[in-house]
């Protein structure tokens, strides 16, 4: 199964289409993330803002596996968001001026991440042990390594193919997943976004501003819970 939106790593109220490429929700911000993330290299995907309606808003971007699913993208230190209102960027719930203007219904937002040699800076995967046919995560060592910054790393957002500039840089090593969060006032239709993981993008940038050419997220291989690439069938079902 190729990359799609996760049925597990989403807030309960987020609704997915049958192909798991579109997501919608109402009321407060809630997050959904993709089934696959990246640790190393340059990658790109797109989201089309299908429906905002009268009261809908979105915060879209990237999240690690620790991002809070019951909150918007950018709510904590584990996710990085791009906001439709005024085009600001959001991280640790702090909004900062970023794009010249916001984005609206019908716009296509591009998401670029580059983690040069990121695997060297990623935290060690959890140690798994088998016991009576079940797989368990062993308790972490008391001395956990502090997170390491990936030199030259960045997240940039594009609006209809035009770069809005570097939004975040000096990212900590780890696995980053495409993520979206939607909001409306109560008793309103769903706010809906549609993901495109490639390879056929609607608004792939003609000008990358000297950035490394990214690969489409559709090419990310399946990785198991221990972050090792594996051909797992049983564990794939948990996505």
3-state class percentages of the chain: helix first, strand second, coil last, to nearest 5: 5, 40, 55
pLDDT for res 140: 62
Instruction: Tell me the torsion sign for CA atoms 144, 149, 150, 151.
Output: negative
144 pLDDT above the threshold of 90: no
List of domains in the chain: 5-238 (2.60.120.920)
The tens digit of pLDDT for each residue in 165-191 reads: 999 999 999 999 999 999 999 999 999
- The residue ranking higher by pLDDT, 133 or 173, is 173
Q: How much is the mean pLDDT over the chain?
A: 91
Nearest to 42 by CA among 227, 212, 234, 179: 212
Closest among 65, 102, 95 to 81, alpha carbons compared:
95
pTM of the model: 0.90
Calpha distance 193→155 (Å, rounded): 20
pLDDT over 90 at 138, yes or no: no
232 pLDDT more than 60: no
Say how far residue 46 (Cα) sits from the centre of its chain: 11
Q: Give the SS3 label for residue 236.
A: helix
Judge contact between 217 and 5, C-beta under 8 A. Answer: no
Q: Which of 20-24, 119-123, 125-129 has the lowest mean pLDDT?
A: 125-129
Number of neighbours of residue 124 by Cβ within 10 angstroms: 11
**What is the per-residue pLDDT across 44-87, written as a single tens digit (0 to 9) for each?**
999 999 999 999 999 999 999 999 999 999 999 999 999 999 99
């Amino acid at each position: 199964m190729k990359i799609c939106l996760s049925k597990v790593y989403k807030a309960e109220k987020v609704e997915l289409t049958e192909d798991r490429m579109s997501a919608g929700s109402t009321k407060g911000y809630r997050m959904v993330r993709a089934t696959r993330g990246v640790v190393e290299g340059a990658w790109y995907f797109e989201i089309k803002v299908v429906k905002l309606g009268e009261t809908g808003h979105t915060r879209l971007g990237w999240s690690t596996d620790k991002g809070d699913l019951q909150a918007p993208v950018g709510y904590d230190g584990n996710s990085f968001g791009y906001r439709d209102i005024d085009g600001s960027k959001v991280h640790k719930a702090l909004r900062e001026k970023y794009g010249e203007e916001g984005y609206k219904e019908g716009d296509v937002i591009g998401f670029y991440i580059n983690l040069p040699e990121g695997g060297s800076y990623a935290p060690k995967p959890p140690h798994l042990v088998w016991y009576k046919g079940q797989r368990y995560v062993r308790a972490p060592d008391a001395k956990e390594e502090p997170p390491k910054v990936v030199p030259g790393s960045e997240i940039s957002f594009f609006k209809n193919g035009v770069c809005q500039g570097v939004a975040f840089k000096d990212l900590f090593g780890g696995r980053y997943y495409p993520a979206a969060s939607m909001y409306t006032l109560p008793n309103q239709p769903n706010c809906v976004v549609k993901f495109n993981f490639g390879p056929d993008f609607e608004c792939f940038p003609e000008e990358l501003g000297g950035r490394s050419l990214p690969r489409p997220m559709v090419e990310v291989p399946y990785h198991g819970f221990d972050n090792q690439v594996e051909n797992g069938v049983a564990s794939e079902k948990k996505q």
